[in-house]
Amino acid sequence: MGGLKIAISTYILLVSACYANGIPRVDPLVDTELGLIRGLTSDDGSYSMFLGIPYATVNVSNPFGPSIPHPSFDNTFDAFDDSAICPQINEFTNEVTGTLDCLHLNVYVPTTASSNNRRPVMVWIYGGGFSIGFAGRYVHGPSYLVRHDVILVTLNYRIGPYGFMCLGTPDVPGNQGLKDQLMALRWVKNNIAAFGGDIDKITIFGESAGSVSVDFHFLYTQENLFNQIILQSGTALSPFAVTEPNREVPLILAQQLGFLTSDLNEALTFLTTIDTDLVIAANNQLQLEHGPCVEEEFENVERFISDHPVNMKLGNGVNIPILIGYVEQELLTLYVNLPPESYASLNIFEESLSPVFNFDIEYFDSMVKNVRQFYIGDEELSEDLKWDLIDFHSDITFNYPTYRAIQKYSSSGISNVYCYLFAYNGDRNFVKRRLNITEGSAAHADEISYLFDVSFFDEVPTPDDQLIIDRMTTLWSNFAKYGNPTPEETSLLPIQWPPVTEESQSFLIINSDLEVQQRPFHDRMAFWDLFYRLNKNQENGYRED
């Protein structure tokens, strides 16, 4: 576009609007490739907020298929509302909510950012098992990160049946939610400079399914849309990262909603006419699960996941900084409050191994016995073994896939891989606080509330929690700025966090104190190394070259 884009440091004075104290309200106005966008100034005046910017739209005639880029704005777009949420069961209210007009993103910009002082960009992709989640400030308040002089972007993407129905057809090939994310990343690359962002310093980061998504973008995206990645508790090698396509889903959903047909297209056409609340409610009643899949190839249809990630090899010259890790007791919440009488009926070893390996029955029983022996010996399942079960379930779902990804990256020649283990147990742990759990160490997603200002934690953080907030956000923003979380030792970060090398796998333990250790859970990871090597050819998705 002609002329210098309006930078964040340039403001439009709205004379007609005033604060209660009589000080004129100043709204930031930015000129993007798509037109003018007006945002809001934060209460303390330290950053600007551009809320609910539409980056794509859902095709109303095919809401289960790929979205399309949002057109340019005819008039100035008022980016004042971050309440959009894609169709889902809201995890906080347990109610059906959301609309398909949800493909929006939020941009938070420190007042220091300008065309003369471009700031690094951090793009957050939320988790939620590919079935729940949203990008608004209710969970993802920006103040903790933006104060470090970085631009934060949070984005919505479709989830559940609208985001991850995988039918292996040209109209619904699968991975629509991932393609939404891809469209948002393209938007950021094309427009963030107008906000004072540095298009050559874009870090994408996420947690759980969001982290898996980040890893997918690293493995499969062919465009130069980001420069660094942060993976929090999830990789493309996690057991839940790839699902098998199920062409029966539209037929099952349609029948649940009163329309019986054996024709896939008829079922899809029917579902297109049904209110999204009803579709989500039916999906929930049927307990249908949706997730990323390996797509078939169709002419003139964008394909995202072209092969199972277990077969993917990094190309020569791929050497971007990576920060990756997990929490100490990922699946603590599944067991810590489980009634004692429930343990005897658990089939945790069988249920955890079957999605990962394609064993015949006799060999499967043998492998289950080996894994069970390693973790609990000859003991019968009982509440006394809950900590061992937490270890096992966490290892196979999160810890070992992360360890394996680290090995893959470092053996591929990526020289700056920084690994962490989050072990802090404070008053602000996201999941433990919500579930009123007081036992154990950090649980899955507990670190989120030390990176984001979660709105429903309305009390002032304790000094101990504030220290973790300060340290986590400094490490993460340092990584975004320098590709190195500890470019120098400071009183806040009195350590050097070394990257992984062939000789060592250093981890930063994030707890009340910071400590560098080697290979956490070494014996357990060594067991899984041997197990996977022994059963390489039986791993689901594996294909010999």
List pLDDT tens digits, range 321-341: 999 999 999 999 999 999 999
Range of the domain at 304: 46-308
| Mean pLDDT value across the chain | 93
| Mean pLDDT along residues 180-203 | 98
- Provide the whole-model pTM: 0.94
- CA gap 415, 406 in Å, rounded: 11
- CA gap 172, 167 in Å, rounded: 6
Q: Give a yes or no: residue 521 inside a domain.
A: no
Give the pLDDT confidence score for residue 318 in this predicted structure.
74
* For the chain, the helix, strand and coil percentages under 3-state DSSP, each to the nearest 5: 35, 20, 50
- CA gap 101, 79 in Å, rounded: 15
| Mean pLDDT along residues 417-441 | 96
Q: Give a yes or no: residue 459 inside a domain.
A: no
Per-residue pLDDT reduced to its tens digit, 118-166: 999 999 999 999 999 999 999 999 999 999 999 999 999 999 999 999 9
Name the one residue in this structure whose structure tokens are 């894609």.
86
Q: Phi/psi zone of residue 170: left (φ > 0), alpha (ψ -120 to 50 degrees), beta?
A: alpha
Q: Which two tokens stand for residue 95?
A: 């109610």
Give the pLDDT confidence score for residue 425 in this predicted structure.
97
Which of residues 410 and 510 earns the better pLDDT score?
510
Q: Give a yes or no: residue 21 inside a domain.
A: no
Give the pLDDT confidence score for residue 57 in this predicted structure.
98
- CA gap 267, 238 in Å, rounded: 32
- Cβ(357)–Cβ(540) under 8 Å? yes
- Say whether pLDDT at 317 is over 60: no
Please state, as a whole number, how many other Cβ atoms lie within 10 Å of the Cβ of residue 545: 4
Q: Give a yes or no: residue 328 inside a domain.
A: no
Torsion sign (Cα): 537, 395, 288, 140: negative
Give the pLDDT confidence score for residue 315 in this predicted structure.
61
Q: Give a yes or no: residue 27 inside a domain.
A: no
Q: Is 491 one of the catalytic residues?
A: no
**420: which residues sit within 8 A by CB, 6+ positions away?**
323, 324, 325, 497, 507, 508, 509, 510
Give the pLDDT confidence score for residue 65 in this predicted structure.
96
Q: What is the domain count for the chain? A: 1
- Cβ(40)–Cβ(8) under 8 Å? no
DSSP secondary structure of 37-49:
EE-EE-TTSSEEE
- CA gap 94, 100 in Å, rounded: 19
Confidence band of 73 (pLDDT split at 50, 70, 90): very high
Per-residue pLDDT reduced to its tens digit, 503-517: 889 999 999 999 999
Q: Which two tokens stand for residue 81?
A: 């509302």
364 exposure class (CB count in 10 Å sphere: 0-12, 13-18, 19+):
middle
| Mean pLDDT along residues 518-539 | 95
Q: Which of 208, 211, 410, 506 is catalytic?
A: 208
Q: Give a yes or no: residue 520 inside a domain.
A: no
CA distance from start to end of the chain? 48
Which of residues 318 and 78 earns the better pLDDT score?
78
Q: What is the CATH number of the domain that holds 106?
A: 3.40.50.1820
Q: Which two tokens stand for residue 472?
A: 């986590």
Per-residue pLDDT reduced to its tens digit, 246-298: 999 999 999 999 999 999 999 999 999 999 999 999 999 999 999 999 999 99
Q: Give a yes or no: residue 153 inside a domain.
A: yes
Name the one residue in this structure whose structure tokens are 């041997």.
530
Please state, as a whole number, how many other Cβ atoms lie within 10 Å of the Cβ of residue 411: 10
HSE-up (13 A, CA, CB side) for residue 106: 29
Give the pLDDT confidence score for residue 222 in this predicted structure.
87
CA dihedral 352, 353, 354, 356 (to 10 degrees): 100
Per-residue pLDDT reduced to its tens digit, 87-106: 999 999 999 999 999 999 99
Residues of the chain with pLDDT > 90: what percent? 90
Q: Which two tokens stand for residue 307?
A: 């092969």
Q: Give a yes or no: residue 12 inside a domain.
A: no
- Say whether pLDDT at 299 is over 50: yes
Give the pLDDT confidence score for residue 363 in this predicted structure.
95
| Mean pLDDT along residues 413-431 | 96
Which of residues 314 and 63 earns the better pLDDT score?
63
| Mean pLDDT along residues 32-48 | 96
